A and B are shown apart, each in its own frame.
Chain A
Amino acid sequence: MDRLILRKSDVQAFLESFLADYRVVAPRHIAGSDFVFDDYRPGQEVRFDFVNTLVPPKNLFFQARETLFQISGTVHPTILPKPSAKPLAVFGLRSCDASGLAFLERFFAQRGFEDDTVTARIRSSLRMVLSCHTPGDNCFCVCCDGGPALTSGFDLQLADLGNRLLAEVGSESGRAAVRRRPDLFSAATDADYSEKVRQLAAVDQTFNRRSYISSGMKRISLARLTEEFWQDCAADCRGCGGCCFVCPTCSCFSVTDKPDDEDHYRRERWRDACLYEGFTREASGHNPRARKAERLKRRFFHKLSYQYVELMGRHGCVGCGRCVTTCMGKLGIPDFLARVHDECK
């Protein structure tokens, strides 16, 4: 793997080299410790002192609401294709979120049906990952093969070495990115790489949370948890769906036609949550998962069962910790796994 050095003071100039061909996105400071991904504007300050963004960059690729196509007329319709957009260049996404994108890319491509609204966006994008040296309170990627650094699934991986970044090239697109401004990069030394390794080893010891993921996965896969256990979880779940919306790997959606005016419609897809009662309710009123306990069981089975590992090559949690931050009922993945652990003690 090519290893290069990019000075932090040159990152702006580097990002600006993409503006003509890409939609460039980078973390933007909102307030306190809150950061969001937003369009990078020339001259904008680039921050490195954030844990992670409030919502994952998944939103850029698999949008919260999205028009699939437009329709003119109802009983005698014409379908209007969607205009194409510039590819995305995302700077500063964390390892967990890059792992989430790799997961989504695999999911949306599989089973002989490729959803290229999502996969094309991911594949055409430039993923400039910032590996982590200071985990947040709720982070547990280290238990989930989601970070703090990656061995694949990025174009450039940047490690913070103070006023310089160690840049590792992970793909042909990453190499092409460097070629846009070769003058900004210099070769990294063995000492630079050792510094990165030393940081990674140190960060591993600073995680606040550990999860009982392997024993939890086993119990979920073999349906070893009692109805009572799920009822107790259901009593604490508000059914808000927040965990699904902030999850880097959650992929469920709904589709309906939205009117623009009397004769024009958009077929719109929006992200949906398996914790909502209406998610499985049929037109007849029959609902196979009418109870919240059944819906929670569904969510965790999807995230953590071996059956889904078989389909996806890994379990569905990358350890970003956002569900922990979001959940009002202490049912984020590590909290849930701790419950499973206690239940089966």
Chain B
Amino acid sequence: MSANSLYVPQLSRIERIERETPDTRTYFLSGLGIDWRRDYRPGQFVELSVFGIGEAPFCLSQSPSRADYLEVTVRKTGTLTNRLNSYEPGDTVGLRGPFGNCFPFDRAKGKNLLFVGGGIGLPPLRSFINYVLDHRQDYGEVRVFYGARTPADRVYKNELAAWHDSDQLRLTETVDQADGSWNGHVGVVTRLLRGLEVDPEQTMAFTCGPPIMLKFVVAELLALKLAERNIITTLERYMKCGVGKCGHCCVGHHYICVDGPVYNFEQIRFLPETP
């Protein structure tokens, strides 16, 4: 071990790249010393190095029960993700992790599960959805609501098609703006939740998406009488180290990278700053 092992990434090869949307790709990562592929838990994240640029955190988007590769789904947004978007299979990135807490998959056992994802908010949820599907007998009914801007902006199109056909979960999709190919719901994802019949005592909801979406989703879920502690999200913050040192992701006295990123809304209400 070198003296600065905490920050030295392991090298990982991009084995395959799936194009999800015009600006989003899924990277299948393996090899080169990564020995923790099946040891992470759904909801955890990695620090991914694009050498020459730096590092950024990304959630692991596949369930560890299916982790033939480590999968991250990345939208090109800033400097690092734009450079990553030029990478090809065979190229090498760096990984540190897995970091953070995880979805409460034990506490959710026996419960009916609602997943509400918006846009690029589906990848973290998908790691848990597929985990639930691989441990199906441990959980009750599973409903997934997914909203994207347009049909072209939907990630995991093949998997969504399979979920539509599956009797293991019920998927409802919507888009903000439809095109000629779309004959599903149109409008924001929150509208799908209105008047939904749920047993609030027996239901846990998991939601990820842009801050404005979360605000309205939580309001709908509370209207369905779900308790705040049964509404769970991942807090996203600008983050550098992933290990509770750099200070960027702090909310109050919480380090989102170590204490989070998974929180329920009761915990969030007691954070000294509202996220």
- Are A255 and B3 touching (Cβ within 8 A)? no
| A69 CA to B54 CA, complexed, in Å | 12
- Are A81 and B273 touching (Cβ within 8 A)? no
- Are A267 and B240 touching (Cβ within 8 A)? no
Is there a chain A Cβ closer than 8 Å to B162's Cβ? no
- Are A257 and B8 touching (Cβ within 8 A)? no
| A76 CA to B12 CA, complexed, in Å | 10
| A253 CA to B77 CA, complexed, in Å | 23
Residues of A within 8 A of B49 (CB): 267
Is there a chain A Cβ closer than 8 Å to B7's Cβ? yes
Min C-beta distance of A91 to chain B, whole Å: 24
| A274 CA to B250 CA, complexed, in Å | 10
Residues in A262-291 with C-beta less than 8 Å from chain B: 265, 267, 269, 272, 274, 279-284, 286, 288-289
Residues of B within 8 A of A76 (CB): 91-92
Query: A-facing mask of B29-63, CB < 8 A → 1, else 0?
Result: 00000000000000000000111111110000000
Residues in B199-255 with C-beta less than 8 Å from chain A: 211, 236-238, 240-241, 243-248, 250-253, 255
Q: A82-B2, A272-B246, A283-B77 are in contact. Are A257 and B54 (CB under 8 A)?
A: yes
Is there a chain A Cβ closer than 8 Å to B5's Cβ? yes
Min C-beta distance of B184 to chain A, whole Å: 26
Which stretch (A35-43, A112-120, A205-213) binds chain B?
A112-120
| A305 CA to B250 CA, complexed, in Å | 14
Closest chain B residue, CB of each to CB of A121: B3
Is there a chain B Cβ closer than 8 Å to A256's Cβ? yes
- Are B3 and A84 touching (Cβ within 8 A)? yes
| A120 CA to B25 CA, complexed, in Å | 40
Q: A68-B8, A77-B92, A108-B245 are in contact. Are A256 and B54 (CB under 8 A)?
A: yes
- Are B258 and A280 touching (Cβ within 8 A)? no
- Are A116 and B248 touching (Cβ within 8 A)? no
Chain B interface residue count: which class?
Answer: 35 or more
| A120 CA to B4 CA, complexed, in Å | 10
Q: A75-B87, A254-B248, A274-B247 are in contact. Are A301 and B51 (CB under 8 A)?
A: no
| A77 CA to B253 CA, complexed, in Å | 37
- Are A255 and B51 touching (Cβ within 8 A)? no
- Are A281 and B238 touching (Cβ within 8 A)? yes
- Are B92 and A116 touching (Cβ within 8 A)? no
Min C-beta distance of A313 to chain B, whole Å: 13
| A301 CA to B258 CA, complexed, in Å | 19
Min C-beta distance of B108 to chain A, whole Å: 25
Closest chain B residue, CB of each to CB of A75: B91
Q: A251-B245, A301-B253 are in contact. List 15 more A-B contacts (CB 8 A).
A: A71-B52, A73-B51, A74-B52, A77-B94, A79-B8, A84-B3, A111-B258, A113-B243, A253-B245, A255-B241, A257-B53, A272-B247, A286-B211, A308-B253, A311-B253
For the complex of A and B, 8 pairs with smallest distance between CB atoms: A283-B78, A252-B247, A113-B243, A307-B253, A81-B2, A75-B91, A256-B54, A74-B52
6 A-B pairs within 8 Å (CB atoms) are namely A68-B4, A69-B7, A69-B8, A71-B52, A75-B87, A77-B11
> B-contacting residues of A (Cβ < 8 Å)?
68-69, 71, 73-77, 79, 81-82, 84, 107-108, 110-111, 113-117, 120, 223, 251-257, 259, 265, 267, 269, 272, 274, 279-284, 286, 288-289, 294, 297-298, 301-302, 305, 307-308, 310-311
> A-contacting residues of B (Cβ < 8 Å)?
2-9, 11, 49-56, 77-81, 87, 91-92, 94, 211, 236-238, 240-241, 243-248, 250-253, 255, 258, 272-273, 275
